[in-house]
């Protein structure tokens, strides 16, 4: 959380990223409608918007070899850390990284090209005047709906209660169907399916509740 406030330049980050186009895909707009071509197998594609250091995406790719994943991050200094982790993890043919701004999602992905969207510990942007920057704001929900399949879903985790409450109101106000809500995720008994992010490990270790929602789009609002 609050990654934007903590960013530090990493020397040589852009050069390291550019040296691995097989993982960090350049010129994503040229692949619009053809993202399956960058993977070894044609499988449903899931994206994480604001992936941070990539632990969640790597874990998901390992746990679900029958699915394809794209981790999205806009900052070089964060992307290079994720790239390093992917390289350390070894061969993951079902995982790619993409350095773009979330506002550009519809320029990069075609309609119905993505199965679902993950948001984990997004910046809460607490000031009301910054509400439109929150990744669960209606403006972003519209983008997610456009690129996902009919009845595609959004899965969201945070430690920030105010952001969670805002997100519940936002997704239901948008007309999405809530499939699951957890006010303290780690109190659930069976969590074998849950891949933790770096922040999730940190906050849950301190006893802080982790909030989670899963919501499904009900119909295409865009022509």
**Any residues with CB less than 8 A from the CB of 89 and at least 6 apart, and which?**
58, 62
Q: What is the pLDDT of residue 1?
A: 38
| 68-103 residue pLDDT tens | 999 999 999 999 999 999 999 999 999 999 999 999
Q: What is the pLDDT of residue 5?
A: 43
| 185-211 residue pLDDT tens | 998 877 889 999 999 999 999 999 999
Q: What is the pLDDT of residue 162?
A: 97
**Domains in the chain: ranges and CATH:** 3-216 (3.40.50.150)
Tens place of pLDDT per residue across the chain (223 aa):
334 445 567 778 999 999 999 999 999 999 999 999 999 999 999 999 999 999 999 999 999 999 999 999 999 999 999 999 999 999 999 999 999 999 999 999 999 999 999 999 999 999 999 999 999 999 999 999 999 999 999 999 999 999 999 999 999 999 999 999 999 999 887 788 999 999 999 999 999 999 999 999 997 655 4
User: What number of other Cβ atoms are within 10 A of residue 148's Cβ?
Assistant: 25
Burial of 182 (0-12, 13-18, 19+ CB in 10 A): middle
Please name the residue that has the structure tokens 């933790």: 196
- φ and ψ at residue 135, rounded to 5 degrees: -70, -5
Q: Using alpha carbons, list the distances in angstroms from residue 93 to 46, 58, 123, 172.
A: 14, 11, 29, 36
Beta-strand relationship, 45-49 and 114-120: parallel
Q: What is the pLDDT of residue 8?
A: 65
Q: What is the pLDDT of residue 220?
A: 62
Q: Which of 101, 107, 123, 159 is catalytic?
A: 123
Please confirm, yes or no, whether 123 is among the known catalytic residues.
yes
* Distance separating alpha carbons of residues 82 and 72, to the nearest angstrom: 10
Q: CA 117, 118, 122 angle in degrees (round to 5)?
A: 125
SS3 99: coil
């Amino acid at each position: 959380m609050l990654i934007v406030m903590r960013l530090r330049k990493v020397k040589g980050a852009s050069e390291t990223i550019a040296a691995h186009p097989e993982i960090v895909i350049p010129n994503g707009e040229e692949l619009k409608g053809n993202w399956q071509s960058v993977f070894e197998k044609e499988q449903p594609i899931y994206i994480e918007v604001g992936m941070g250091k990539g632990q969640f995406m790597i874990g998901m790719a390992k746990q679900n070899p029958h699915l394809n994943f794209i981790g999205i991050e806009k900052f070089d200094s964060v992307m290079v850390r994720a790239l390093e982790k992917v390289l350390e993890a070894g061969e993951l043919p079902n995982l790619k990284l993409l350095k773009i701004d979330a506002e550009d999602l519809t320029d990069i992905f075609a309609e119905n090209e993505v199965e679902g969207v993950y948001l984990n510990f997004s910046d809460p942007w607490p000031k009301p005047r910054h509400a439109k920057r929150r990744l669960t704001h209606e403006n972003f929900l519209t983008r997610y709906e456009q690129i996902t399949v009919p009845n595609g879903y959004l899965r969201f985790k945070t430690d920030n209660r105010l952001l969670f409450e805002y997100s519940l109101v936002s997704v239901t106000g948008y007309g999405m169907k809530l499939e699951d809500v957890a006010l303290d995720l780690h109190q659930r008994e069976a969590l074998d399916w849950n891949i933790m992010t770096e922040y999730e490990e940190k906050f849950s270790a301190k006893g802080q509740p982790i909030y989670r929602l899963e919501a499904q789009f009900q119909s295409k609002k865009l022509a």
